[in-house]
């Protein structure tokens, strides 16, 4: 990847997030992932989450928008591991204290706001077991609380576990790799393949247990594509491989292959690698990548965390046929939530956390 490509990426269109500048293409990718999840849930609710929701490939593609969660995982792997990779392999300084503060202020205020509102309003006050499990971030560990109250929260809990483990993984990886990024990439690739195999062994052909299906044990390898991209970000690629649109277009048949059979979910790691790579790496930019500079889409990405956590309770509260209402209403609630709940804490973290960890 040439210097010119890197400069173009750094000089890309940016949008404001609580006083911080964000690369529009990254935020647009968040928006597409969140909108995909919203569309999948709204479509599923319209058909009562019955077989009609996935009768044809077109229907399975819309319903499969929920796989956008794996794009979020890939983005987290890239954006959070990159500063740690630079620190462990390149000698740059990084403050784990600031890293921890940033992660807490970015995720927990909205999480607790959503949980409290839903337990009081939706769950009639909730039970002491619910308050204990959701209050201690352990809801994924119990059958009685896994995937309840607000289904999408399962992935946030997995993200939080990844955040806690990442510094340990980063420092362990550099030791195993003996300071070589190439060795580290090979180790990550092997670990990712092992994780995919473990997921297949634990999930397919066995009775589904949400405590396993929605655990970091069976989903950790979805973070690996982003981590790999963080390691190889400065590798030069020739010809078509050095073009962003090549990466983005290459992901399309992979996604369609997955949507044709949801049993191929593990391949979302490959599709995510291509999508995140096409947006995050300093490649020569094409029309598809430049389309992601569209500000309205990027602004949805800025509020995508709120959209992700609030949309399903809204969809569930409406009648099954209210798809055209649930989507704009979810967007409206997301922007209000971003403004009232997220923004104050995002501004606070600017004072306490370094810019290296304000990317997500």
Domain layout of the chain by residue ranges? 13-357
Convert the pLDDT of each residue in 303-321 to its tens digit.
Answer: 999 999 999 999 999 877 6
How far apart are the C-alpha atoms of 269 and 222, rounded to whole Å? 5
Nearest in space to 190 (alpha carbons), one of 204, 205, 173, 203: 173
Contact call for residues 204 and 250 (beta carbons, < 8 A): no
Provide the percentage of residues in the chain whose pLDDT is more than 90: 78
How far apart are the C-alpha atoms of 164 and 306, rounded to whole Å? 22
Q: What is the mean pLDDT of the chain?
A: 91
How far apart are the C-alpha atoms of 326 and 342, rounded to whole Å? 22
Ranges of H-type helices in 281-358:
287-291, 295-302, 304-317, 323-337, 343-352
Which residues are paired to 121 by β-bridges? none
Count of other CB atoms within 10 angstroms of residue 243: 19
Contact call for residues 162 and 81 (beta carbons, < 8 A): no
Ranges of H-type helices in 292-322:
295-302, 304-317
* pLDDT at residue number 5: 36
* pLDDT at residue number 205: 67
Q: How confident is the model at residue 20 (pLDDT cuts 50, 70, 90)?
A: confident
State the average pLDDT over residues 216-223: 96
Convert the pLDDT of each residue in 265-305 to its tens digit.
Answer: 999 999 999 999 999 998 999 999 999 999 999 999 999 99
How far apart are the C-alpha atoms of 40 and 46, rounded to whole Å? 10
State the average pLDDT over residues 218-223: 97
Please, which residues have CB within 8 angstroms of residue 261's CB and are 6 or more apart in sequence? none
Ranges of H-type helices in 15-95:
24-46, 57-63, 68-90
* pLDDT at residue number 11: 54
Q: For the chain, count helices (H), then strands (E).
A: 18, 2
Which residues are paired to 22 by β-bridges? 15
Handedness of CA 140, 142, 143, 148 (dihedral sign): negative
Convert the pLDDT of each residue in 81-101 to its tens digit.
Answer: 999 999 999 877 888 989 999
How far apart are the C-alpha atoms of 52 and 59, rounded to whole Å? 8
Size (the chain), residues: 360
How far apart are the C-alpha atoms of 352 and 174, rounded to whole Å? 27
Contact call for residues 93 and 352 (beta carbons, < 8 A): no
Convert the pLDDT of each residue in 44-95 to its tens digit.
Answer: 998 989 999 999 999 999 999 999 999 999 999 999 999 999 999 987 788 8
For residue 332, give both structure tokens.
């409206």
* Three-class secondary structure of residue 15 per DSSP: strand
For 76, left (φ over 0), alpha (ψ -120 to 50), or beta?
A: alpha
Tell me phi and psi for residue 127, to 5 degrees: -105, 165
Tell me the pTM. Answer: 0.93
């Amino acid at each position: 990847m040439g210097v010119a490509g890197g400069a173009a990426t750094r000089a890309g269109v940016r949008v404001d997030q609580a006083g911080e500048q964000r690369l529009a293409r990254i935020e647009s990718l968040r928006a597409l992932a969140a909108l995909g999840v919203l569309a999948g849930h709204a479509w599923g609710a319209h058909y009562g989450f019955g077989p009609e929701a996935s009768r044809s490939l077109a229907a399975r593609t819309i319903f499969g928008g929920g796989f956008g969660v794996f794009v979020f995982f890939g983005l987290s792997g890239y954006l959070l591991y990159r500063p740690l990779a630079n620190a462990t392999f390149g000698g740059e300084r990084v403050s784990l204290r600031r890293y921890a503060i940033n992660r807490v202020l970015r995720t927990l205020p909205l999480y607790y706001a959503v949980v409290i509102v839903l337990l009081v309003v939706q769950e009639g006050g909730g039970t002491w077991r619910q308050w204990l499990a959701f209050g201690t971030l352990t809801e994924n560990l119990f059958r009685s609380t896994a995937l309840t109250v607000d289904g999408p929260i399962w992935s946030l809990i997995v993200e939080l576990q990844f955040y806690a483990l990442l510094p340990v993984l980063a420092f362990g990886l550099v030791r195993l790799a003996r300071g070589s990024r190439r060795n580290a990439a090979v180790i990550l690739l092997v670990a990712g393949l092992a994780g995919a195999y473990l997921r297949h062994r634990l999930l397919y052909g066995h009775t589904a247990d949400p405590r396993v299906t929605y655990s970091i044990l069976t989903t950790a390898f979805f973070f690996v594509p982003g981590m790999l991209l963080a390691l190889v970000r400065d590798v030069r690629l020739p010809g078509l491989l050095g073009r962003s649109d090549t990466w983005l277009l290459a992901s399309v048949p992979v996604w369609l292959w997955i949507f044709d059979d949801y049993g191929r979910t593990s391949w979302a790691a490959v599709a995510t690698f291509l999508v995140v790579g096409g947006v995050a790496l300093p490649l020569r930019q094409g029309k598809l990548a430049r389309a992601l500079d569209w500000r309205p889409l990027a602004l949805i990405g800025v509020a995508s965390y709120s959209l992700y956590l609030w949309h399903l309770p809204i969809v569930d509260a409406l009648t099954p046929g209210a798809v055209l209402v649930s989507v704009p209403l979810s967007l409206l609630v997301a922007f209000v939530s971003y403004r009232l709940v997220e923004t104050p804490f995002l501004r606070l973290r600017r004072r306490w956390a370094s810019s290296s960890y304000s990317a997500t």
